[in-house]
Structure formats: C-alpha cells, structure tokens
Structure 1
Amino acid sequence: MREKRFKLFADYFQFYLQDEGSKGIKGESWTPEAHQRRLALERCAFAVMTARNMDVPVIVRLYQDQPEIDLAAWDHIVEFSIDVPSGRLVVAGCTDSFPQAERIELEKGSYRVRVCQAGLDEISDDGLDGKDHYLVQTWRGTFMQVNIIKQYSEE
C-alpha cells in the first residue's frame, strides 16, 4: 500500500481527484443523486462533497487488492470506478491551480475507488473548524456502478 496525505482547501465544499487528461467535473454533475451520495462522478474524475469549505485532511491510499473496511469508523462510504488513462491522478481543492496540484503516479487503467468520510457531525457552529476527515482508497479493478455502502444523514 502507498499513502499520500493532503490538506486540501475544500472551497465550495468539495475536492477533486481526476486523471491528468480529464476535463474534470462539470457543474451539472452535481445532481440531487450526487448530493445524496456526496460524490459527483465522471468517467475519469470525481469530486467529494465535504462538511466544510475550509482546509480538510484527505488521505489517498493505493492498494494492490480491495481493502477491508471498518463500517463503524465512518459516517459515509461510497464505492465506484474511474479510468486513469494517463497514469497520473491529480489531487486538488476545487479552486487550486491545476498545473501546480499534486499528482500521484499509478499504472494506466481502470480503478475501483472507495471514499470514506468521518466526523461529519463534528463541525463548529461557524463552519470553520471541525473533525471531518476523508479517506480515498483505490485499487485496480473492473467497472462497477456507484454503490453507497453507508449513507450519512444530516438529521
């Protein structure tokens, strides 16, 4: 397993991972379904909805095989697939400079992705501080439909 840690500015309550050649996430990708799953998705890119529009901690882990998951440790978990034809995955906040954003090198191809979110209820009243954190797990795999494993409810 390889791991990279980030502190991303989640302006507009989101951050991105995308293939270097992707045009990214379109505004119309944020459908009501995408809001429910806290994820906007294109073939080669995805955006994760965050609990704050401040700097948030994000860990990206690359695995050889599908990792186990502790359901009790997370508020929201969603799995899906993306293609990475360039072999370079860009990790960025919504308004970060794309040319200066960090890249993760990986083999070209299709990947399964699991996004886990925790601490979503632990945000200060002013929305500036919080204990929210995000884990992105990836491994080689064939295409799969979006699957919400654990649904977060703001109620």
Structure 2
Amino acid sequence: MGELRRYEIFADYFQFYLWDGRYHPDDLGVFTDEECARHVKVAPHVVLIMPVRNMTVPVLLDLCDAAPADPDPIEWDHVVDVSLALPSGELELEGWQEEPIDRIPVAPGSYRVRVCMAGLDTLSENGLEGDDHYRLTLWPAPEAPIVVWKQHAPLPDRS
C-alpha cells in the first residue's frame, strides 16, 4: 500500500461506501441521529460516509501501511476513526446503488478508516454548491471503538 487515489463521487442520497467486495450487506437498517451527526455509519464489513451534499464531491483515499499522525483540528471540520473488516482482501469504493467506483486489493484483515471532512460551512443556500472535500485514510489495525476527533456542528435540515 502507500498510495493516494483521487475521485469525484456522486453522493446520491448523501452517501457513499467503503466495504468488502464480497461481504457487503444488502440493508444497513435505520440511521440513528448519532450516526447522522457523526456523518459515518458502521456495519459489518462496511463504512458508509455521509457527505453534506447530495452532489458530486471530491474524495481522496489514502492507503497507508501504518497509522497516520493525529489529524490537524484546524485543517478539518470533522474527523472520525472507525474499524472496517476486509476478510476477502477486496476493498470497494462505491456510490449508492451503483457499480463500484474502484476495487482495490488489500491484505485480508482488520483496518481503521479515518474520515476527514473540510469546507462543511461553504455550502450554498440550496446546498448544491460548496467547497466541501473528504479524505479517507485506511491502514491495517485491530478493531477498536469509534473515535470522534472533531465533531462539526449539525447542518440545517435540507429535506
């Protein structure tokens, strides 16, 4: 590993996924208020990321061999670390009900994913435009509890 990948992802229904290519679930169930505030939902073999726009958003995926340095609280508006099991060794990045955007071979095992979000306060009034951007960092690590490094204030309801 040790590579940076860039994407423009259509975040239909305010979501996209990192998951195991062979074990992702068909239904992630009801989203809790806590998961929505965290902008991340975790289930077996899947991390669902909830960006702040229902549009195409820029995403960086950083594949690392070891844990990154602590996140910079000035650079990022929102930062969460979660665990992801990838028993098949096939990491997929995918939009909501779409074909995979990317399939990446990794060593089978347990990983941590750091979800960093910035520019969350740059959205236009209608929520369609903004300078929000997202960085996902993945590294091998044992399963561990969710860590919220920095929590962004909740956004207004746009439904």
Question: Partner amino acid for 1:76?
Answer: H
| 8 Å CA contact retained: 1:18, 1:91 | yes
Q: Residues 25 and 118 (structure 1 numbering): CA distance in 2 closer, same or farther, change over 3 Å?
A: farther
**1:5-54, CA deviations, whole angstroms, 9 ceiling, x for partnerless residues?**
11110000111110001233734251122112111111210111111000
Q: Could you tell me which amino acid in structure 2 is paired with residue 44 of structure 1? A: H
Match of 1:10 in 2: 11
2:74 corresponds to = 72
Give the aligned CA root-mean-square deviation in angstroms.
1.5
Aligned to 2:81, the other structure's residue is in SS state: strand
Q: Which runs of 5+ in 1 are unaligned?
A: none
Unaligned runs of 5+ in 2: none
For 2:102 and 2:49, the matched residues in 1 are separated by 17
Which of 80, 83, 89 aligns to 1:81? It is: 83
Q: Which residue of 2 aligns with 1:22?
A: 23
Distance 1:67 1:61, change over 3 A: same
8 Å CA contact retained: 1:8, 1:56: yes
Q: What amino acid sits opposite 2:144 in the alignment?
A: M
Residue 116 (structure 1) aligns with: 116
How high is the TM-score relative to the length of structure 2? Answer: 0.90
CA offsets 1:75-128 (integer angstroms, 9 cap, x no match): 000001110011111101113224xx3111111100011100011111112222
Residue type of the alignment partner of 2:128: L
The number of aligned residues is 153
Instruction: Compute the TM-score of the two structures, normalised by the length of structure 1.
Output: 0.92
Say if 1:25 and 1:47, in contact at 8 Å, map to a contact too. Answer: no
Structure 2 Cα separation of the partners of residues 118 and 109 of structure 1? 29
Which is richer in helix? 1
